[in-house]
Structure 1
């Protein structure tokens, strides 16, 4: 028997998601086929991933993230900011506690501007992948940060895919390409699970900011410029975490038979 399920399309600096409210509705099992169908930009709604909001004791909500290819995702910074905005409107609260695949987080909402905490406990490491120097760090999702070479700018998908599947990364890695110009930090990210470049990446912004702070002594707050907009990473009042800040937008909402 088919059920009509409501959804909302949201994006954070053009990193876009289809969100389902499991706190108020009974949802079907989201298998790989359903996820791929929703995320397909020609035959579906179109998104970089699926967000499912659920109840969890001790928290305002729990966020489950599914990659566009149907696989279970790690922490997603932009997705979490979208989820916080949605839950804030639903619960009429501007400050929330939520959990994700990597544990507990805090979030704050001021109109369309959202701030969330991200763990900064992980120690990054300089490493070389296929002769290319970079910095590997896990910010809830694994990231390899490396310099953007001008000759690669038009073929980032091919370059990113090669690094993403390198045998050095047991479970694969997201790849963040950094270009420093006029003391500004421009970032492009190839995301595993999407298997393509996305217009921004929240955990990628944190990874780049931590690399800049830890290896180049760049002070917080650090502004990262992505193709889809600007994300800010700042110090937190709690040791071992940072604050990720960005704008979130509701695009449209609808319902579908599943």
Structure 2
């Protein structure tokens, strides 16, 4: 079987994008493909696969399978890459993409940095119900509160966007410790608090309208960036009064930078996630007894532009 693909990344959160047009795969085949091609030692290497297909209700449909074979309900960085693919394929400036739990608006945006294709995507719905994550604690809502079963002092906020997130605001020196790793690995293993696992983010306020986010992603581990985590983290900083609703917040991450705008009218809450959708290369996967692949085109100019962005923001991350 020959499968055309595009290797893409959003804030260095990298994926293999596959257009399913003309194919009729089972979920087991999608799982097995993810397990094999996402391997960085023998496969192409990626955090997951973005499967793009036709939709009966939108301009296209996105499904996301993580490197461990699990399916994610949403992926903000991946959605930006799918947005670019569909916008260029269909010749539109904006459109709608069906995801597991919502149909979301996406659009082409002004460049976040010279030479970097940039797209804005809607992140919603937003829920603070602990049952929507789920997280089993004795509260229906957790906003900036200690969860003693996790840490005796650290204050957490729990929300689903719709991926489940636990977020805490910390000082920069905490990022260098093993605390986040230990907590995240516990909550993503067998445990009574988050039996389905959870994304765990540590947020460092840098200055007004500037934050840093480091995330341990459910099903992946530490990644360079997690789009829904950066969106959820922005929402929480506005909820806590650290940033303002409706303002564009610069969100730095180990893989670069995005911008987020959080809104909350009481009846409707959502986030706009704005950032790169970079093509690394295109090729063909040969899937028979094993996995082989050939690279046909490398997007050197896009990689060089993104490296310049990384160099530009390096001084911001001084901790």
TM norm structure 2: 0.74
1:141 to 150, 163, 171: 163
Give the superposition deviation at 1:89. Answer: 1.2
1:9 aligns with 2:19: no
Q: Deviations over 1:123-176 (max 9, x none)?
A: 362341232321111012000001346255253433421244452224211000
Secondary structure of the 1:199 match is: coil
Secondary structure of the 2:176 match is: helix
Q: Are the aligned partners of 1:8 and 1:250 in contact in 2 as well (CA < 8 Å)?
A: yes
Q: Are the aligned partners of 1:134 and 1:144 in contact in 2 as well (CA < 8 Å)?
A: yes
1:192 aligns with 2:218: yes
1:207 corresponds in structure 2 to 232
2:37 corresponds in structure 1 to 38
TM norm structure 1: 0.90
1:221 corresponds in structure 2 to 248
1:153 to 166, 176, 179: 176
2:126 to 100, 111, 121: 121
CA distance in 2, matches of 1:256, 1:17: 14
Counterparts in 2 of 1:215 and 1:182: CA distance versus 1, 3 Å: closer
Give the superposition deviation at 1:206. Answer: 1.1
CA RMSD between the two structures = 2.1
Give 5+ residue unaligned stretches, structure 2.
112-116, 129-140, 288-319
1:61 corresponds in structure 2 to 60
1:95 aligns with 2:55: no
2:134 corresponds in structure 1 to none
CA distance in 2, matches of 1:25, 1:199: 33
CA distance in 2, matches of 1:154, 1:66: 30
Q: Are the aligned partners of 2:124 and 2:271 in contact in 1 as well (CA < 8 Å)?
A: yes
State the structure with more CA Rg.
Answer: 2
* Higher normalized contact order (CA 8 Å, seq sep 6+, divided by chain length): 1
Give the superposition deviation at 1:236. Answer: 6.1
Counterparts in 2 of 1:27 and 1:17: CA distance versus 1, 3 Å: farther
Counterparts in 2 of 1:245 and 1:151: CA distance versus 1, 3 Å: closer
Give the superposition deviation at 1:28. Answer: 3.8
Give the superposition deviation at 1:242. Answer: 2.1
Secondary structure of the 1:125 match is: coil
1:109 aligns with 2:114: no
CA distance in 1, matches of 2:160, 2:260: 15
Aligned length: 254
Q: Are the aligned partners of 1:97 and 1:104 in contact in 2 as well (CA < 8 Å)?
A: yes
Q: Are the aligned partners of 2:204 and 2:211 in contact in 1 as well (CA < 8 Å)?
A: yes
